[in-house]
Amino acid sequence: MEYSHFALTLVTPPVLEPVTLAETKAHLRIEHTLEDILIGSLITAARNFVENFTRRALIEQSWKLTLDQFPCWEIYIPKPPLISITKFEYLNSLGLTASLTETVDFIKDIESEPARLTPFYLGTWPIAYNQMNAVSITYKCGYGAAAATVPTAIKQSILLLVGHWYNNREQTVPINLSQIPLGAEYLLWPYRDLRI
């Protein structure tokens, strides 16, 4: 990456998890409802872990990327896969907020991961005001709005993590709980984005 500093802010979290409570309880072989709240929190924790490990978004969510200035050419969009750009703003040379429009000012490449934005054909990025966080891009990312859109291997790794944490929550023998089960790690490595 050309730019030395960027910040990411979660704007809208996902409205559901990639695996359901029923799927997870079937995986754990649990039929009672006494620990539904615990299991639900483990699902969310496992999804967060998987998203951080892979540097991806699973279920549709919105993020804001801020930069101090425009790079020379490409802007990489973290948390693939990219769904859409909802707002692209910057502070112009007068310090006023200005907007950029897709297909007029910039184009996006969603075939690459992470996705890239570049100025439109033969164009350049505008000059941003010399101030921290002068450029901001709000976007939607994830595999889609439904759990069915998330790859099966990623969903299986979430189930393995939940099972590991559920079964070892009160472990008395020394165990490294920060270590994820090898099966889950092997399932996740093909999806890990190492570029951002």
User: Is the pLDDT assigned to residue 170 strictly greater than 80?
Assistant: no
User: Is the pLDDT assigned to residue 19 strictly greater than 70?
Assistant: yes
Query: Cα 53 to chain center, whole Å?
Result: 10
Long-range contacts of 179-186 (CB under 8 A, 24+ apart): 180/49, 180/53, 183/157, 184/156, 184/157, 184/158, 184/160, 185/157
| pLDDT, tens digit, 9 for 90 and up, residues 65-83 | 999 999 999 999 999 999 9
User: Is the pLDDT assigned to residue 136 strictly greater than 70?
Assistant: yes
Q: Where are the domains of the chain?
A: 1-196
How sure is the predictor about 171, in pLDDT bands with cuts at 50, 70 and 90?
low
**pTM of the predicted structure, to 2 decimals:** 0.88
Tell me if 77 sits within 8 A of 117, measured CB to CB: yes
